[in-house]
Structure 1
Amino acid sequence: MRFPQSSSPTSRRNLLLGTAAAGAMFAAGCTSNENNDSDENSKQAANTANDKPGKAVTIGFAGPQADHGWLNAINEQAKRRAKEYKDVTLEITEGSNDTAQQIGQIETLINKKVDVLVILPADGKALTQVGLKAMRAGIPVVNLDRVFASPQAYRCWIGGDNYGMGLNAGHYIGEQLKDKKNAKVIELAGIDNLELTRQRTAGFNDALKNYPNIKKVGRQAAEFTVESGQSKMAQLLQAHSDFDALWNHDDDQGVGAERAIKQAGRDDFLMVGGAGAKHAMDAIKADNTVLKATVLYPPTMAASAIDLARALGQGKGVGGLAELEIPASLTLYSAVVTKDNVDEYLPTGFS
């Protein structure tokens, strides 16, 4: 996931939701209140999002170029979810990594007077002004993952937890190695000048502090590509003949890392991936490689963004919550997928 900017878990009012819980919540029927014998509960039921057809809503969707498996999954999740609603029309742009071009695409959607916008900006800071423009035009914006520089540029933010990815990867590895004396781990990170990479590494390092028997002995930064994953992993393998675990930030670059591992004939350590690609889940299920787990950065957030946009366009809240309005911020949970639970998450795996 090549994100020029990502959210900080401490910089906004986070509501922590698991991926499955978020999807179920947004698509839930009427309300989760068990006791509906009061006027207030009836009012909440009437204002809560549900999957019954309602007011027609046109949603404009603008994202970056799908030049990565995760970004392509984002687009597919949005399209698939929109098709599930008879009352939703989706206006989707081609996607671009050129900020000026993406701004132009969003301005076209504003001029078309769509009811709601879902925007995954190529660069959150650079596209803040067009988010503000939409909000000032009375078009609510659902800011997806890469956050705008101003909270006034969006009505709701929804995205993943990069720090949580590292934290959960570190805790998983720590639990596997907690009884091993002088355990060693290495890290294959993403692009180092991206905030998301720094957050993932920070979470990983913080988790390892709970395991004094474990020492991180090596780290290389790749570029979220198969080629970079292979070359950087080969360097790590050459530099470290003995280690017990590897955390790789991204399953796409993990394809290259696995090639390097196979070429080196190494199987003396466990590997944890990141994001939740289908090929990684298939390997975890087969249990015949060093890859034993992956930490999710769920592309299902795009489907949930469509749910939120629909609710905004219809003036409804969210099933499962007592509030009449949708939250200002939703941070999705980075679940660890292992052989024990992989069947549950396989449907969310992306190619």
Structure 2
Amino acid sequence: EKGIPIISNAIFIKTPEGRSLIVSQVNAGDFEFGRVIADWLAKKLNGQGNIIALSGMAGVETAELRWEGAMSVFKKYPGIKVLAHEYADWSYPKGKSVMASLLPAYPDIDGVWSGGAAMTRGAIEAFQEANRPLVPMTGEDNNGFLKVWLKLKQQGSSFDSIAASKPTYIGSEACRLALKVLQGEPVYDINIVAVPIITSKDLEKYVRPDLPDSLWLRTRLPEWKIKEIFKE
């Protein structure tokens, strides 16, 4: 009613044409997120193998787009079979419990596609507690997961992964766009932030063993601010 312009952040909002005060939207490409990590997994497996897939929350656009991106890759590889696709709410305990329930049913698993957050860490623990050899798994730039990955690497494990990111600086980008709107400057309706990745080659560059699991590593916050927020 007040005519206040709105900038949406981290989610795309569909509204009736001509009836929205949303002047600009900014987000990372969730389809691309799912596609990039699936492409890594498919190539890691040389286009052959049985995989388990863990998505976030059923019906949530972020989760569904990531899975659509993944399937756009997997359907190109007839040698890759998706044994099961389950939702684990991006949760560490649910990722672990869902994977633990799947392991007895599938003795031959070659890889895990995880749609991110803390699910990968839970999947790793489920494999370990079932005395199953670790397989390549995808993940996200959650510090808890990267600390586990680093520990495995330091122990000489053959485990490998890729961590994609929905960078936290999407929020600051939305603020930048809002300031431009208030100053009367033109902005794009849709703004897509690139999906950066972390691999084994640069894992040590990003992981923070000195900080809590809850830190998301792709940030533009200065070091002093990170330490102020994430005090152990």
Would the TM-score normalized by the shorter structure come out above 0.5?
yes
| SS, match of residue 158 in structure 1 | strand
2:119 aligned partner = 253
1:8-23 correspondence to structure 2 within 5 Å: none
TM-score normalised to structure 2 length: 0.77
Report the Cα distance in structure 1 between the residues aligned to 2:129 and 2:203, rounded to whole angstroms.
Answer: 27
Report the Cα distance in structure 2 between the residues aligned to 1:259 and 1:175, rounded to whole angstroms.
Answer: 24
Tell me how many residue pairs correspond in the alignment: 205
1:75 aligned partner = none
Residues 1:153 and 2:21 are matched in the alignment: yes
Residues 1:348 and 2:218 are matched in the alignment: yes
The answer to whether the 8 A contact 2:165-2:218 is kept is: no
Larger Rg computed on CA atoms: 1
> What is the root-mean-square deviation in Å for CA atoms of aligned residues?
2.5
The answer to whether the 8 A contact 1:224-1:252 is kept is: yes
| SS, match of residue 142 in structure 1 | strand
The answer to whether the 8 A contact 2:135-2:160 is kept is: no
2:49 aligned partner = 183
Measured at CA, do residues 238 and 210 of structure 1 come closer, stay the same or move farther in structure 2, by a change above 3 Å? same
1:162-201 correspondence to structure 2 within 5 Å: 162-178=30-46, 182-201=48-67
**Aligned-pair CA distance for 1:157:** 0.1
| SS, match of residue 143 in structure 1 | strand
Counterpart of 1:338 in structure 2: which amino acid? T
* Identity score, percent: 20
2:170 aligned partner = 301
Report the Cα distance in structure 1 between the residues aligned to 2:144 and 2:25, rounded to whole angstroms.
Answer: 29
The answer to whether the 8 A contact 1:178-1:211 is kept is: no
Corresponding residue to 1:310 among 147, 157, 179: 179
Counterpart of 2:40 in structure 1: which amino acid? Y
The answer to whether the 8 A contact 1:226-1:255 is kept is: yes
2:90 aligned partner = 224
Counterpart of 1:170 in structure 2: which amino acid? A
2:131 aligned partner = 265
Measured at CA, do residues 215 and 264 of structure 1 come closer, stay the same or move farther in structure 2, by a change above 3 Å? same
Counterpart of 1:331 in structure 2: which amino acid? I
Report the Cα distance in structure 2 between the residues aligned to 1:157 and 1:203, rounded to whole angstroms.
Answer: 21
1:277-292 correspondence to structure 2 within 5 Å: 277-286=142-151, 287=153, 288=155, 290=159, 292=161
Counterpart of 1:192 in structure 2: which amino acid? A
The answer to whether the 8 A contact 2:54-2:119 is kept is: no
| SS, match of residue 311 in structure 1 | helix
Corresponding residue to 2:197 among 328, 332, 336: 336
Query: What runs of 5+ residues in structure 2 fail to find an aligned partner?
Result: 208-216, 220-225
Report the Cα distance in structure 2 between the residues aligned to 1:335 and 1:212, rounded to whole angstroms.
Answer: 28
**Aligned-pair CA distance for 1:344:** 5.7
Measured at CA, do residues 168 and 148 of structure 1 come closer, stay the same or move farther in structure 2, by a change above 3 Å? same
| SS, match of residue 118 in structure 2 | helix
C-alpha distance after superposition, 1:71-105 (max 9, x if no partner):
xxxxxxxxxxxxxxxxxxxxxxxxxxxxxxxxxxx
The answer to whether the 8 A contact 2:31-2:67 is kept is: yes
The answer to whether the 8 A contact 1:167-1:200 is kept is: yes
